[in-house]
Structure 1
Amino acid sequence: MLTAGIDLSADPRKTGVATLAWSGEDATVVELAVGAHDDDALCDVVRRAATTGIDCPVGWPDAFVEYVVAHRAGGHDLVVPETRRPLTYRATDLHVWQRTGVRPLAVSAERIGAAAMRCAALLAMLTRSGTVVDRAGGGPVLEVYPAASLKIWQLPHRGYKGDAPENRATREDLVDQLAIAFPWLDLVGFDRACRDSDDALDAVLCAVVAGLAHHGRCETVPEDLRDTASREGWIVLPLGASDPTRDGTPLPR
């Protein structure tokens, strides 16, 4: 069983892609590359995998979309909102923020919006080719947020991105701690790639969460937010080390 992870960037040269092969609950990284996939190749990765985790917003806040549509129509009914939060943060962003203390980037107000535009086009390509896309995470494509997952796993989740010496040191430590926390994850010949590139490491983390979701080891969308999540998207969070799984066994450590 294959799962994939895509650390999506608006710039293909910064997009990391990982594929994991699972045997039971053991996973081995079999492919890992940064900057080697165009949009067609990314769609092929998704089609080959049972589940793919993408580190990128798969939608925009409902309130933001309605605001922009009203503005295009002339803006006669627009009013200054008391707070911009509904325009900048999706329901899932607020849920992750409350659940983990890690605040996702605002897709309608920060540069990650450029990556989300690319993601929307990818999802459209997949849909046209017959792949069922459920933005709420019920299909083969999941929205993943590595920093929040790391926080739940009680692993370093900040300061590991970039090439500054202190960031590289944090990333080295994170990879070391991953090996201890997840002895079932085999990086084989890709250990150095994860240490050298946060894009590669995040792609692996996305593929890991995709695999855990496939095994029923991730949280589900609250029922009252499912309709909203079907449009805005939903960040899939793994169960914590002390959380029970559906079959009553703990998350493997």
Structure 2
Amino acid sequence: MLTAGVDLAAESRGTALAVLDWSGTAVTVDVRLGIADADIAAVAPDVERLGIDCAFGWPDDFVSFITRHAAGERVDAGLDGGMAWRRRLSYRATDRATREITGRWPLSVATDRLGLTAMHCAVLLDAVGAALGTPVDRSGGGTAVEVYPGATLRVWDFGTKGYKNDAGIRAMLLARLLERAPWLLLRPEDRRLMEHSDDAFDAVIAALAARAHALGLTHPVPAEYRDQAGREGWIALPVGRLEDLAP
């Protein structure tokens, strides 16, 4: 089995791709930074799962809101305009489910800078779908799946405070990761890149989350949200332990 992980940025220069080969008793890793969409799309047909760290869509309520506003229709009918209403516009069903599991809100694709990356993601998903010969199922029913490395690490009982901005903290986190996953083989250059770049680090975690999804070790999409997840996307959060991914 091959799995791949993408830490997507608004521009290719900040985008990282990791490919993990699970075919042996040890897992080999190839991680690269500064990856173009064409490179990601080219990998998609060869992997069992492709985990992408970015929202696959926007909240249904937000889309409806801006559609009414663009058409010159009233947007406040029956709405109180308070925090609960704004939060409903800001967050997807999967964001609320992720908060219930992890205790933290994901970034809002509707109101945060993540929206810039999500625009890139929408274009990337088209390219991936073309490479696969079928449109991407945003609910995670196909090869491509939405993942969230920070939440994945927390679910696996890793502390994540400061790892995005501090290479020293990343190095310690990576050491702990390898203690628990000794089957993960990193070349020295890949280890240095993961310590230097949080994008490269998150790409490897995304590929691990993709493995969890391929093994059925992620929370399923609740039946009542399947249609909505097909439009908004759905974060594949692991269940169980990192150790359960061992080849």
Q: Taking structure 2 as the reference length, what is the TM-score of the superposition?
A: 0.91
1:153-204 CA distance string (max 9 Å, x none): 1112221112xxxx22211110011011222222233111111111000000
3-state DSSP of counterpart to 1:213: helix
- Equivalents in 2 of 1:138, 1:24: separation in Å? 26
- Maintained 8 Å contact 2:126/2:135: no
Does residue 180 of the first structure (1) align with residue 182 of the second (2)? no
Deviation of 1:103 after TM superposition, in Å, equals 1.7
| More divergent stretch after superposition (221-230 vs 56-65) | 221-230
Alignment of 1:65-84 (within 5 A): 65-79=63-77, 81-82=81-82, 83-84=85-86
Does residue 119 of the first structure (1) align with residue 118 of the second (2)? no
- Equivalents in 1 of 2:16, 2:74: separation in Å? 44
The answer for the alignment partner of 1:210 in structure 2 is 210
- Equivalents in 1 of 2:130, 2:213: separation in Å? 25
The equivalent position to 1:144 in structure 2, one of 143, 147, 168, is 147
Partner amino acid for 2:115? Answer: G
The equivalent position to 2:111 in structure 1, one of 86, 91, 109, is 109
3-state DSSP of counterpart to 1:134: coil
Partner amino acid for 2:213? Answer: A
- Maintained 8 Å contact 1:132/1:140: no
- Unaligned runs of 5+ residues in structure 1 are 243-249
3-state DSSP of counterpart to 1:52: strand
3-state DSSP of counterpart to 2:22: strand
3-state DSSP of counterpart to 1:191: helix
C-alpha RMSD of the superposition: 1.8
Shift of the 26–132 alpha-carbon distance from structure 1 to 2, 3 Å rule, reads farther
1:189-235 CA distance string (max 9 Å, x none): 31111111110000000011111211222221111111111111000
> How many residues matched?
240
- Unaligned runs of 5+ residues in structure 2 are none
The answer for the alignment partner of 2:159 in structure 1 is 156
Question: Where has structure 1 moved over 6 Å in runs of 4 or more?
Answer: none
Deviation of 1:77 after TM superposition, in Å, equals 4.7
Partner amino acid for 1:15? Answer: T
- Equivalents in 1 of 2:18, 2:198: separation in Å? 12
- Maintained 8 Å contact 1:136/1:221: yes
- Equivalents in 1 of 2:182, 2:239: separation in Å? 17
Deviation of 1:28 after TM superposition, in Å, equals 1.7
3-state DSSP of counterpart to 1:23: coil
- Equivalents in 2 of 1:120, 1:93: separation in Å? 18
Partner amino acid for 2:16? Answer: G
Structure number with the bigger relative contact order (C-alpha 8 A, sep ≥ 6) is: 2
- Equivalents in 1 of 2:193, 2:21: separation in Å? 18
3-state DSSP of counterpart to 1:6: strand
- Maintained 8 Å contact 1:67/1:78: no
Does residue 94 of the first structure (1) align with residue 92 of the second (2)? no
The answer for the alignment partner of 2:49 in structure 1 is 51
Shift of the 132–180 alpha-carbon distance from structure 1 to 2, 3 Å rule, reads same
Partner amino acid for 2:182? Answer: P
The answer for the alignment partner of 2:138 in structure 1 is 135
Q: Taking structure 1 as the reference length, what is the TM-score of the superposition?
A: 0.89
| More divergent stretch after superposition (143-152 vs 181-190) | 181-190
The answer for the alignment partner of 2:22 in structure 1 is 22
- Maintained 8 Å contact 1:152/1:238: yes
